[in-house]
Each structure stands twice: as structure tokens, then as C-alpha cells.
A and B are shown apart, each in its own frame.
Chain A
Amino acid sequence: MKSNHGSDDDTMKEMEREILANIQLCINCRMCLNMCPTYEGWFTQGSFGRLAAINAYFKYGLGEEERLSELLYSCATCRRCQERCKMLCTNASPSETILKARNLLVKKAQAAERKGS
């Protein structure tokens, strides 16, 4: 699979660009927080917090991927936040972005495993 490294890197860059462009649309209104079924008072338990964590990790390299993975996989992908965003705000599609971030995280891990082995 070594010959695929180049195209793999390109795909990952494209995915990252897409994710960050989506997050740019978010105007931080936090209307999605109360929509999120997993939100229990902590900012990172809601969709807005997850987007912030994704942004911090992929754009600025802040945070650890284990912690980011915990936040991403605690999302029920129910899309309730996305409906609210579509109706009230800027259509930043938080639910879709979280799924894309999961994909990217897995892809990065698989690429790193291939390089390591």
C-alpha cells in the first residue's frame, strides 16, 4: 500500500479543509447546545463544544487525539443540532462535521499505522 501514501495525504488534506471550512460557518450562537441530547452542563458535551475541539485540534494542533476521540464518539449523531443550525443560523452542519472528523481521525491513525509497520 506504500504507493498510495501520496494520494492518501491529499485526501486527508482535503478532508481537513472541508471540516475547517464548515466550522468557519459557525457563528458561536450556541443554540445547538440545548438541542444536544448528550449535553449535561459541560460545554464539551454538546455539539458546539465538539466543533470547538475539532477546530482546536486540526487547526492549531491543540489537545490530544484520545480526548478528541472521546468527545467525537460520545455524539449520538442524531442530527438534532443540525436541524436547529439549519433553521436558525448558518448551516454549519455540526453533526455531519463530527462524522467527517471521525473519518479523518481514523484515516490519520490508519496512515500512521501503515507508516510505522
Chain B
Amino acid sequence: MKNTVKSVVPVGHRYIRGNVLEKGNIVGVEEDKAAWAKDLDLPRQAEYTFFAGCGYQFMKYAEGMTRAARTMQKAGIGMDKSISMNIGMSKVLGKVGIDLGTITAKVAAAGKEDVYTRILVSAVSVIRKLGVDIGYLHQDEPCCGSPLYYAGFLDDYVENAQKNYELFKSLGIQKVIGLIPACTSSLRNLYPHYVEGFDLKVYHFAEVVAQELKKKGIKPKLKEKLVVTYHDPCQLSRYLDIIDEPREILNNIDGLELREPEPEQRGQWSTCCGGGGLEAGSPELCERLGRRRAEELLETGANVIVSHCPACIMQLKNSVKKLKADVAVMDLVEILDEALE
């Protein structure tokens, strides 16, 4: 049949849409949302509310799924519309011997050291070290819904946004600190456009930290000298216009040398690593983009690639591994947490 949602939206995007609408997160797992914050004793009410977002919390699952999607496309299954049109994502994956249920169960059971949720813990610790009063909604934190917007499901996105705004209002939230660039840009730039009377103040983690460091005159110090390069996430540099803040933070750290990529590959002109926008739609293209960006960053000769977005971190980690380069990929938050006393 002509003109169906199935024939115009790639299967990955439809799968994520289902997860967001039914389970309230991008990967569709039900357990352990907010498990990372269990020992942190975060209050529900505070001056600022921390918006953790789906990215870091569920990246361990997303990693397995992206790998599965790549295998699928390489096996020629994602390409064949007739297959993906008639049966669901889990059945398609089942064809190549991948069961999504097992992937999520395996990750959960192995209890493997999760590098992504650790970043969230570090972020809270950094904010606390700077003396900012912060709270967290724990299980009640909704999904901002930005994958819906970028997949083209505008109606669903608007409905979700309105629902979230009512929730925020009912809980008396006024100021939000977002960590994930995509969530923050969704809350800050898109919500006011689609939700009537939206009046929350949305800040990004890097803005708050840069401001507090300057105000308090704190100079973080690293124990070992690091040579790093910074990769600007698209959503942070071009959607939110936060280009100088991460650099201010990095340059302010004692014992850290920042080597920038070429001028036409950084800041406003930073090349996209393909992590956020392409994983769901075109996994193979996404892999090529990641390799190209990693090569650009490796040319700087830095030992550590620093970025500030879960999708970029995952993508660059994979690409560096593929290129067999001896370079670490870290989040800005991790370095900062290490450097702050």
C-alpha cells in the first residue's frame, strides 16, 4: 500500500517512537531508571532540578542495539523494505539471531561497570562541589521526546511536551539543569515554541559550571598532565550556541593542554560524528561519519578526546576502537570531577 508511516519512516525511528510513547525512554527498558542516583541522596525539591535524560542512563543498552542494527544492515535486512515493513523490529533482529530482550537482560545481569551512568554520578558530584543546590525527580523524570521531533512525529512530540510541562508545573519546578545537549535544546528551544505559556528556565550543565568556576575563582587541578582535544557536539555548539564555555572550563584546568582541531572543524563548524542523528536511520553511514571525525580529531595528536554528549562519546569510542588508535575518549564531566577537589 502506498503512503504509510511504515514506508516513509525507517524502522529504527519507529522503534524508538514506540519506546518513548509506551515506556517513557528511548530503549524501552522498564527497570532501574534512576538506579544510578540511589546512593546520592538527591532531594526531589531544590533550587535547580537536574534533568538526567535518557542518553547516559540507557547508553549501555543503546550500545548493544546499535551494534545489532549495524549487523542487520550489513546482512542486508534493514535495507529490504518488504521485510521491515511487514514484521516488527524484534522479529527482524531475530532473523539474524539477535534478541533485544537478551541484550538488555545480559547487560543488566552482568552488572558490568557502566561507564555512562558513572558520568551522571560525576556530574552531580561536580555540581555539588561547586555549591549549587540540586534536586532530581528520580523515577518521575519524563523523556523530553526529542527523538520524536527528529523522526518527524511532531504531533506526538507536542503532546508529550505539554504533558511534561504540566508535570513540571505540578511539581513546582522553575529552574532546570540539563546535561544532555539534545534534551536541553529540546527543553530550551522547542518547548517554548510548542507549549503555551512555557516559563521554565533551562540551563545547560556547562553554562552553570563555567559561571560558577569564574564566580568562585576555583582552579581545578589534574594530578597527571593530559593533552586533550575537544569535539563539539552538534546540539551543543549549533543548537544551543555553547561553544566557549566548555573551552573555558578545559583551559581553566591546571595540567591540561587543549589542542584544537582545524578552525573549519571546530566550534560552530565542528564536523558531525554521526552519533545522534543517524544511528536509528542509517547505521552504516553513521559508522563512516564516525571514522572520518575520529581521524580529524586524531590529527591533533592529543591523548584524550573530550566531548560532552552521550551519543558523541559512544560513537567516538567505537570509531577510535575501529581505527585501533591508542586514544581515550572521555566526557568533560569525568575530567572535571577528577580535577576538582
In-complex Cβ contact of A65 among B7, B276, B281, B289 (8 A): B7
A43 vs chain B, min Cβ distance (A): 16
B239 interface residue per 8 A CB criterion: yes
Contact yes or no, A109 B292, CB < 8 A:
no
Beyond A78-B277, A102-B151, A106-B152, whether A37 also contacts B7 by CB under 8 A is no
Bits for B130-161, please: 1 = Cβ < 8 Å to A, else 0.
Answer: 00000000000000000001111111000000
Complex contacts, B5 vs chain A, CB 8 Å? 106, 109-110, 113
Beyond A76-B289, A78-B238, A112-B3, whether A107 also contacts B154 by CB under 8 A is yes
B195 interface residue per 8 A CB criterion: no
Provide the main secondary structure of the chain B interface: helix
Provide the main secondary structure of the chain A interface: helix
Complex contacts, B238 vs chain A, CB 8 Å? 78-80, 82-83
Complex alpha-carbon distance, A65 and B292, angstroms? 30
Contact yes or no, A105 B272, CB < 8 A:
no
Complex contacts, A110 vs chain B, CB 8 Å? 5, 155
Contact yes or no, A37 B8, CB < 8 A:
no
Complex alpha-carbon distance, A36 and B285, angstroms? 13
Contact yes or no, A80 B4, CB < 8 A:
no
Contact yes or no, B13 A73, CB < 8 A:
yes
Complex alpha-carbon distance, A86 and B89, angstroms? 39
Complex contacts, B155 vs chain A, CB 8 Å? 107, 110
Complex contacts, B149 vs chain A, CB 8 Å? 99
CB interface residues, A 90-117, toward B, < 8 Å: 99, 102-103, 105-110, 112-113, 116
Contact yes or no, B268 A83, CB < 8 A:
yes
Bits for B168-200, please: 1 = Cβ < 8 Å to A, else 0.
Answer: 000000000000000000000000000000000
Number of interface residues of A (CB under 8 A): 29
Contact yes or no, B271 A80, CB < 8 A:
yes
A66 interface residue per 8 A CB criterion: yes
A22 interface residue per 8 A CB criterion: no
In-complex Cβ contact of B269 among A38, A73, A80, A103 (8 A): A80
In-complex Cβ contact of B234 among A80, A112, A116 (8 A): A80
A16 vs chain B, min Cβ distance (A): 14
Complex contacts, A79 vs chain B, CB 8 Å? 234, 238-239
B308 vs chain A, min Cβ distance (A): 15
CB interface residues, B 241-299, toward A, < 8 Å: 268-272, 274, 276-278, 281-282, 285-286, 288-289, 292-293
Q: How many A-B residue pairs have CB under 8 A?
A: 97
In-complex Cβ contact of A66 among B81, B268, B282 (8 A): B81
A44 interface residue per 8 A CB criterion: no
Contact yes or no, B152 A103, CB < 8 A:
yes
Complex alpha-carbon distance, A73 and B277, angstroms? 9
Contact yes or no, B8 A109, CB < 8 A:
yes
Complex alpha-carbon distance, A109 and B1, angstroms? 11
Complex alpha-carbon distance, A113 and B9, angstroms? 14
Beyond A37-B274, A38-B285, A76-B277, whether A69 also contacts B7 by CB under 8 A is yes
Complex contacts, A76 vs chain B, CB 8 Å? 234, 272, 274, 276-278, 286, 289
Complex alpha-carbon distance, A38 and B9, angstroms? 19
Complex contacts, B278 vs chain A, CB 8 Å? 38, 74, 76
Question: Given known contacts A80-B269, A103-B154, A113-B3, what 8 new A-B pairs fall within 8 Å (CB)?
Answer: A76-B272, A76-B286, A79-B234, A80-B238, A102-B150, A106-B5, A106-B153, A106-B154
- Would you give 17 A-B contacts (Cβ < 8 Å), ordered by A? A65-B7, A69-B9, A73-B13, A73-B282, A76-B274, A76-B276, A77-B234, A79-B234, A80-B238, A80-B271, A80-B272, A102-B151, A106-B8, A106-B151, A106-B154, A109-B5, A112-B3
Which 5 pairs of residues, A with B, have the shortest CB-CB distance?
A102-B152, A78-B272, A76-B277, A106-B152, A78-B234
